[in-house]
Structure 1
């Protein structure tokens, strides 16, 4: 199949082939193209989906934001679809001839609306688990989808890519102590997967010959001659999660039910392929919510009340680490500020011997003298620091 507008003879040939029960790419009328999931080996939440000659890239990011007033205990899940005219020569020629890309913008908007119905309105993802502090801070999950190659049926490819990237996504673990919120680095704690209740798989059908002929998963050449499209999203529980009918071609009720049955079989097959591909990526240890390569400390620090995204979190952790490195400590004999004291236990030296000098210093001090007594932090391992608490 070449990526240029079809002539009238070629369109008639494609339609006559469908009526004869065959297709221009050799498939049967009820046969869908092969789907392939390629997850990133270095970043969670990034996946490339190939559906025939259609190629889609999806990535998921997360940031901490304030919730809405009407839903203070729920996070956000938003979608963005980039359907560039450069994805296909057909779209490029259309853009050059008309000077605008209204069709691609309209198609991208339709895909976003269908994704919202497919994932958010069907409660496929638990938004309540995205809440950090009710009314104060929640996670905002953003799914960015880029259509790299348009080979037909972009809607199904985008839906598969969105689900796959959400399944692959990991967010930082969060701990709440009193009024303080701690977001842990991936070195400190394992990141947390999103809570997905079910997997609604979208299956689209092309409508031909005034609704008398239906073909699953139409390619770009067949889309140029079809009169409408029917998209049904079904999960493993045989629940219809989303439904979309576009185009003016009518369809009988029996034909719609037949398409729903075919959609369930296709959804079961895609779900198995997705789970198989996802099981090979369990050993990835880096999360996509880490926006900057920052060397962080092993400790956690309370966040400010107002932060702007995950970038602010990592920036604050880096500032706290710098503060600890530059901190000055005090001793009983020198109440003032002196250089930081570090000590290291050797393999033959016990913890008591490591603190012998500190104990002698405390015992030799006049008990009647008022002074700022330090608290010595006893290390668990071989290294530690003493920290003055006034």
Structure 2
């Protein structure tokens, strides 16, 4: 018979137990309440470093009030009453009994600086997690007018958080996180597939542009077949071999792309039909790659912070390595979007001699599609 839930029954099993840092915060506050003189040894933290509003209010009250005379503090609770009154302005649920329980649970008041160091480390973890979540959310925000610019700004903010944590906790050599990296999302995007097809067809028709698009790599493509065909195009242009759908098909055979189930006629049809310029479609593909990389890197760093076994030192090393991957994609994006590369590619298309081939069914791309 199913168990009937009593609305007046307290189901304490549904309340998660407090994290270890909660008990460490209690020990720190207990040490400061018992011996306020230890506050001078507590550095690197502020009221927002604590995980609960009550603990934050208590620490703020302790810091704001003058330290009592040690002899008088040992004989009466006047200073504790002043701390409680000040803290209650921000946390009304505090009681005198809770302050006394904090004093009782503190093992060694002289270890206050060590407790504060742990609180600082856990606060750094929460800060890093929040910054990583902002990066992840921004990379998926389709309402932003300039998604790449906004996303990279959040990446810079995340980098600043990592640098600040590194200044507080200089990383040790070889201290990499042991947390497994999350699997990249492989959602099907028909718009991305179509843009990749248009790039391949247009680049096959105007291969002189491929030489100046080294900022685009096979890893930027969402479809493995399209990534392989882009490798075929870059290989043919690098070897100065004539480029057309037939030569690309031949190169694709050598690379084993036909073994994936693609038929020769399908590849020839895919490489036919141009629109716009290769640079335009390439930038579209690279833009999507930047956003996807930022999203995945945000998830990686968030996974580091959610692993309680990851130390502050490992958070710094792992986050910097993840951000380095985003920096590489960012550099290629800046190369693609720079006016110098745009004007150079435009001059190349204007002066290059047209290759021999069948009559065009679409106009040659004399300029980029306006965005």
TM tier relative to shorter chain: under 0.3
TM-score after normalising by structure 1: 0.23
Indicate the structure with greater strand content.
1
If asked which structure has higher relative contact order (CA below 8 Å, sep 6+), I would say 2
